[in-house]
Amino acid sequence: MIKSTGAMLTGHSCLFTVWAPFRKTVDIEFEDSGLATTPLKKDEFGYWSKEIPGVKAGTKYRFILDGKAAYPDPSSKAQPDGVHSWSAVVDEHDYVWGDSEWEGIALKDLIIYELHIGTFTPEGTFESAISRLDHLLTLGVNAIEIMPIAQFPGGRNWGYDGVYPYAVQDTYGGSEGLKKLVDACHQKNIAVILDVVYNHMGPEGNYLAEYGPYFTGKHSTPWGKALNFDDAYSDHVRAYFLRNALMWLDDYHIDGLRLDAVHAIIDHGAYHFLKELRQSIDELQIKNRKRYFLIAESELNDVKIMEPYEKGGYGLDAQWTDDFHHAVHTLATGEYNGYYQDYGKVEHLAKAFRQGFIYDGIYSPFRKRTVGSNPQAMASSRFVVCIQNHDQVGNRMLGERPVELVSFEMLKLMAGTMLISPYIPMLFMGEEYAERHPFLYFISHGDPDLVEAVRKGRSNEFKAFKWKGQVPDPQAEETYNRSKLKWDFHQDPEQKALFTYYQYMISLRKQGMFSAFFERHVDTEVHEQQKLLIVRSKDASPGIGILLLVLNFSKETQHINMPAFLERWYKICSSSDERWRGKGCPGKTILQKGEEIEVAPESMVLYKSENS
């Protein structure tokens, strides 16, 4: 019933298949190849196909619908001339992989680094990113998360305007470039997670509706009509995206997918697309004897996404936890506009430490409704947390990173809070050394009306936050270039110190120094007026003992008394240490029970008990 679509080389010929159930004729034409325009044959489910001899890798083609307009292949593997032009045949088996020794990394051990290929390096390509992998190894990162790379219009885009899910962005280096990057990562023991978008398609170069009912009028999303996951003919649309997910994992050796905004994947059927996706990947795992991650972005705070099949869940591995970011950000910056109005108390961060979600079935003043479900049964490794990401930085009007908003001491406190937390930490590129270039929203659309609509839309988005200034032009190349990392942090003593601090904290995490917190068996003590949070593990971890973390988000020195139920406490680390260019930690290295200590302003300090 359902067939694989696209161009598949088979020896000295190529099988072309496209789904266009309502078209009367579909022909394929070729550019400058000596191959004749050829009609395809239709089956009972609307798949048109034909095996054509003499086709080679690189051959350019497109489909002519009903003898009139010609369009690129919806399942194109390459768009070398852009989203409106010819598709190109790709030989999926022409790359010799060198990652046969790669065994993967357990979910609980991931330390993720989110990056955008175009702005990660000056060149903005997959191959140039390889040159920075040693930097990530030195930092201690063991996984990269690549923002979307499906072909989008022009050469400047975040990637969420992709319109060819199967084609790798040509300006980044295309199919071969991506394989080289993944291969290099695996040879350096770095996992690769790819951000994919199955909730909408970009507006420019999107010709899916010319072929069939890929969209439905039953539902709408912020981007227009919803993709058709539950209406008539949806079996074929679902298969289109399921095959795409399997392609990234199987053909490109990707280790996991980050699923963009799954709350906008609207499916009211009995077998939700997300569950079918997970179960399809379960089958691939058995075939390849390899574990693949599925990490969701969702604004719903719904554990159903992660719950096992037998409980009616979708079985995804983890999800982004924005509550954690918002709790830290509001305490650090004092920003309470927009969705930040739901946060800002020390108790919010305490709750995030205890269970991940803050909104777990309680009322949200910003959203004016009850949000979330109880996450306490979920392991801490099911939550990904951050203090920066592309959304939280790039969706600010001026794209400012926290370095522009808070003190150097507060940057270290924020980082320590994330890295010591029970959850999977995710850094955003440049965060580790306080990159000062902004990360702005950028596009390179070819339609002037669309460009103007994006400009107006961006301006309207910022009204709830009351930010001041001029919105950078998303279409301007300067906006894109300003978003590139500078990579000169070694020349700045403060940036260099912050990198060393991140490096040290990550090494402690990988050594298991924070493991007593990892299953969230913690007591929290909230001092709201003092902006002080104390987190203590209930259980001792082998070789370490009980952990006691003190987070001081105030600009004043705070005093606490060490717990009296254990004789001695030993300092593990402090963000105000002089080696991180702090003013020095006033607390002693060894403390007796009940002894009072000082906690420096905007700092964190971590102790372990004697019984280690």
Rounded Cα distance, 48 and 27, in Å: 9
Which helix (H) or strand (E) element contains residue 351?
helix 346-355
> What's the token pair of residue 474?
């998303």
Asked if 214 and 228 count as a contact pair (C-beta separation under 8 A), the reply is yes
Query: 522: which strand partners?
Result: 537
| Per-residue DSSP letter, 334 | -
Catalytic residue among 114, 230, 231, 260: 260
Asked if 599 and 583 count as a contact pair (C-beta separation under 8 A), the reply is no
User: Given CA atoms 453, 456, 462, 468 in this order, what sign does their dihedral have?
Assistant: positive
Rounded Cα distance, 382 and 423, in Å: 7
Rounded Cα distance, 508 and 608, in Å: 13
**CB contact set of 611 (below 8 Å; sequence gap of 6+):** 540, 545, 546, 566
Question: Nearest-CA neighbor of 228 among 196, 270, 268, 275?
Answer: 268
**322 classed as catalytic:** no
Asked if 434 and 495 count as a contact pair (C-beta separation under 8 A), the reply is yes
> What's the token pair of residue 254?
């990707």
Report the 10 Å Cβ neighbour count for 103.
Answer: 9
The alpha carbons of the chain give a radius of gyration, in whole angstroms, of 26
In angstroms, the Cα distances linking 174 to 38, 208, 209, 280 are 28, 21, 25, 26
The DSSP bridge pattern shows strands 41-42 and 47-53 to be: antiparallel
Instruction: Return phi, psi of residue 111, to 5°.
Output: -130, 105
Rounded Cα distance, 306 and 196, in Å: 18
Continuous H helices in 385-434: 390-394, 408-420
Rounded Cα distance, 279 and 130, in Å: 32
**260 classed as catalytic:** yes
Query: 62: which strand partners?
Result: 29
Q: Please state whether 433 falls in left (phi above 0), alpha (psi between -120 and 50) or beta.
A: alpha
Catalytic residue among 297, 307, 317, 577: 297
Catalytic residues, by residue number, are: 260, 297
